[in-house]
Amino acid sequence: MGAAGAVPGSTVPGVPRRQVVAWCTWDWGSAAFNAVMTTFIFTVYLTGAVGEDVAAPSATSRLSWAMAAAGFCVAVLAPVLGGRSDAAGRRKFSLAVWSAVVTVCTAGCFFVRDESQYLWLGLLLLAVGTVAFELVNVPYYAMLRQVSTPATIGRVSGIGWACGYFGGIVLLLICNFGFIAGDGPTRGFLNVPTEGGLNIRLVALFAAAWFAISALPVLFFVPELPADPLAAPRRGIVGAYRDLFATIGSLWREDRNVVWFLVASAVFRDGLAATFTFGAVLAHSVYGMSESTVLLFGVAANVVAALGAVIAGRFDDRIGPRPVIAACLLGMLIAGMVLLFVSGETMFWVFGLMLTVFVGPAQSSARSMLARMTVPGREGEMFGLYQTTGRAASFLGPALFGVFVAVFDADRAGIGGIIVVLALGLALLLRVRPARDRALL
């Protein structure tokens, strides 16, 4: 995929459509973990049916600490693992390995029955799956320039995010009407028994298969980049951290905008993740939504987030990603402040959807912004650092959510913790000055 003499990883015109489709298909499949496991179905089941009778701290609080621990693990592992795949010509291998781990953890949730003694198993599987899911994003994001052109990088990123949300819509509808909808001892049009949480556990198996199948096209149709012959040999943990700090020092001397963006994105992306992780839990425990209604809200949330990502992708290419991200964070802060003081399903429908319409564009534009700022050939390294800094701050959202819940003894108060993280991320983003777009060089 490149002209002779081109820098490995650089963008070239004429990307085959099937490569773009294959890359976006992985995003489509990622909804199996994002939408089903960590947002709208399994976490609600885990904090509700499984953790209903656990002693203090609550199952919701324990979930927040499990996610914080997962974030810490990614922050420790990413400096060692991130950025090596492109230099070694093994992006697809890394993507395949970590996708397999996510699949196994998702399928393993089948063994989490609706009894309190299984709470630890569910939390463990979600935490390990989250670690793997964050690490697989390094090689996946690094492929963005391989499947886009300088004039379409924002749109391709936005379409990828939209595919993830639309995949979530289809998957949530299948799960709801096939396994969950209805009352009584069996649920859904498949008449799955609810005893032992079997219907939700089968959803986990279905989600695992969905993700595994969707991950295959990118492995077959997007070519692997050649290994960098000038790349340094692999080093141990201490050496990897030395390289990390050397890279940060080099960036600080050469382009501090990149450093400030990495810090800012680390913070606000954690706020975005916390919004989806705890949104469904709050809808059920605070605003009184039934599990079935939560799923319907999830479908609507994915629709508006997908449309937002597609529309914002065009603004991204026209005015740049920074204004798009700032506008999205401001909109989320307004919606979050309102949700702190209102009650009832109707208010959550209105302002919860207002929150989610901004999440997709912010995530997509953050991905494209770093791709634009990165020197061609260093995408894996920079997105490895992107994940490292992101997960270094990934404890903020879950931890502050848990702290606010504990201090005010109310799940609703956790929204305040998320608001603090988003506000801090916006303040840091404002320090980033628009830099030249290296994707256009």
Strand partners, 192: 187
283-342, pLDDT tens digit by residue? 877 887 877 787 788 778 878 888 888 888 888 888 889 999 999 999 999 998 998 888
Structure confidence at residue 2 (pLDDT): 35
Tokens linked to 322: 């920074």
What is the 3-state composition of the chain as percent helix, strand, coil, each rounded to the nearest 5? 75, 0, 20
Q: Which of 335, 218, 350 is nearest to 297 (CA)?
A: 350
Q: Which residues contact 313 (CB under 8 A, 6 or more apart)?
A: 154, 155, 156, 157, 158, 159, 361, 364, 365, 368
Structure confidence at residue 186 (pLDDT): 92
Q: Which of 75, 79, 132, 134 is nearest to 392 (CA)?
A: 75
pTM equals: 0.76
How many Å apart are CA 371 and CA 378, to the nearest integer? 10
350-375, pLDDT tens digit by residue? 888 888 889 889 989 998 898 888 87
Structure confidence at residue 12 (pLDDT): 40
How many Å apart are CA 370 and CA 259, to the nearest integer? 10
State the DSSP H helix or E strand holding residue 331, giving kind and residue range, or none if neither: helix 321-339
107-116, pLDDT tens digit by residue? 999 999 999 8
Give every residue of the chain whose pLDDT is below 50, as ranges. 1-12, 86, 230, 436-441
Structure confidence at residue 29 (pLDDT): 94
Find the largest Cα–Cα distance for the chain.
65
Sign of CA dihedral 8, 13, 18, 23: positive
Structure confidence at residue 83 (pLDDT): 53
How many Å apart are CA 426 and CA 421, to the nearest integer? 9
Structure confidence at residue 327 (pLDDT): 94
Neighbours of 364 (CB within 10 A): 32
Structure confidence at residue 121 (pLDDT): 95
